[in-house]
Amino acid sequence: MIKNLDKIECRLLLSQNYIGHLSYIFSHKPYVVPMTYYYDVNTDFVIGYASKGHKIKALRIQRDVAMVVSEVDSVNHWKSVLVQGVYHECEGSTALMNLRKFTSGVKEIIRNIEGINVSYISEFSSKIIKEGSPIVYKIEVEDIIGRVRGL
């Protein structure tokens, strides 16, 4: 049987994962791309980063987005959350602060889920901070809904 998740359960699922799919519109066409993210429970924002490219160009034009995060064990045992929100680009010290939140948050989730220490994420974030190349962004959560089957 499929049932709805309440808002607390939705945010818990979002906070316990770090891989999702981001959906956006560009030139009247929908796109869905995988993304690594960190959900900041204190601010109710999803934090991500990307290089300048198609996605960033599109999000600068049309800021409304959707994002899906799922945990699938089988066809009869799964949970899924849909986030609808608004893209906000970070700059300067705000970008740096959010990139650090992203890095430490994702490391913690991987440590909790997989039981491994992922030092390469810190090395990676230090490298991109020096190079100044990533676009750090936040997705302001406007609505969140979820479903569960068989759990």
- Taking all residues of the chain, what is their mean pLDDT, rounded to a whole number? 90
Each residue of 66-89: pLDDT tens digit? 999 999 999 999 999 999 999 999
| Rounded Cα distance, 32 and 41, in Å | 24
Contact 147, 79 (CB under 8 A): yes
| 3-state SS assignment for residue 28 | coil
pTM for this entry: 0.87
Any bridge partners for residue 67, and if so which?
Answer: 22, 83
Q: CA-to-CA distance for 19 and 30, rounded, in angstroms?
A: 20
Burial class (CB in 10 A: 0-12, 13-18, 19+), 144: buried
Instruction: Tell how far CA 20 is from the center of its chain.
Output: 6
Contact predicate 94/41, CB 8 Å:
no
pLDDT given for residue 81 in this prediction: 98
User: Coil, strand or helix: which one is 66?
Assistant: strand
pLDDT above 60: residue 120: no
Residue-wise pLDDT for 4-32, tens only, equals 999 999 999 999 999 999 999 999 999 99
